[in-house]
């Protein structure tokens, strides 16, 4: 057994164990080879921007689980108990993270929410975290995630944030583009303004696709 700095298991061993766990979870739904490919692919993708590599194996397992769930849902192998909303911006560090957090805060378990970016950043913007924490939305467990075809296929509504992201188009889905300022260019008061605009848009979206 190879021990890495900080006493961590060799990443390859950690990822192999993660693949075994997910293969067991998705047995009869997704084959083990696909599970392993998704786990290692998720690790490699997240590793392109992550600075804290110690956290990569568990993050890769979490991300792979989301992708495999989306893949199974898109093929009708796992039921979707609630409508799925996907929020997309380039870096997944500002607008899409705010929208996802607000949708979860406002709708609870009436919807399932994902967010992603075509070029995910290294971290969520500190002002975004602060502005959301002010209203009770905690992003401490969230991180920028890459946009993948499987999460688009699983979504019922795909919302882009006016930042030039192009998503694959599939029939039967709701697509919207919200023109919003980029929080990266704003001070905290500006981020609060964007947060409040997103909140009003999210309230309308949720009322239409998952009325209480």
Lookup: tokens for 109:
């378990």
1 lies in a domain? no
CA distance from start to end of the chain = 52
pTM, whole model, 2 decimals? Answer: 0.84
pLDDT tens readout for residues 96-150: 999 999 999 999 999 999 999 988 998 999 999 999 999 999 999 899 999 999 9
Please give the Cα distance from 209 to 194 (Å, whole number): 22
pLDDT tens readout for residues 139-191: 998 999 999 999 999 999 999 987 655 667 777 789 999 999 999 999 999 99
Question: Which CATH number do you get for residue 43?
Answer: 1.10.8.1060
> In this predicted model, which residue has the larger pLDDT, 128 or 47?
128
* CB of 110 closer than 8 Å to CB of 138: no
24 lies in a domain? yes
- The answer to whether residues 70 and 92 belong to one domain is no
- The answer to whether residues 32 and 89 belong to one domain is no
Number of domains present in the structure of the chain: 2
pLDDT of residue 172: 77
- The answer to whether residues 64 and 89 belong to one domain is no
pLDDT of residue 118: 87
Give strand pairing partners of 86: 114, 158
């Amino acid at each position: 057994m190879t021990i890495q700095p900080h006493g961590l298991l060799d990443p390859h061993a950690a990822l192999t164990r993660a693949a075994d766990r997910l293969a067991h979870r998705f047995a009869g739904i997704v084959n083990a080879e696909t599970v392993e490919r998704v786990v290692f692919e998720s690790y490699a993708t997240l590793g392109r921007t992550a600075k804290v590599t110690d956290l990569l194996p568990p993050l890769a397992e979490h991300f792979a689980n989301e992708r495999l769930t989306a893949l199974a849902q898109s093929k009708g192998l796992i039921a979707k108990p609630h409508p799925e909303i996907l929020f997309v911006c380039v870096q997944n560090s500002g607008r899409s993270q705010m929208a996802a957090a607000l949708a979860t805060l406002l709708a609870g378990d009436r919807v399932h929410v994902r967010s992603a970016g075509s070029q995910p950043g290294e971290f969520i913007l500190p002002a975004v975290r602060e502005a959301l924490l002010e209203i009770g939305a905690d992003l401490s467990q969230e991180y920028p995630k890459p946009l993948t075809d499987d999460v688009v296929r699983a979504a019922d509504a795909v919302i882009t944030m006016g930042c030039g992201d192009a998503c694959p188009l599939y029939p039967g889905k709701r697509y919207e583009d919200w023109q919003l300022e980029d929080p990266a260019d704003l001070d905290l008061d500006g981020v609060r303004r964007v947060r409040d605009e997103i909140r009003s848009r999210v309230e309308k979206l949720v009322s239409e696709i998952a009325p209480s």
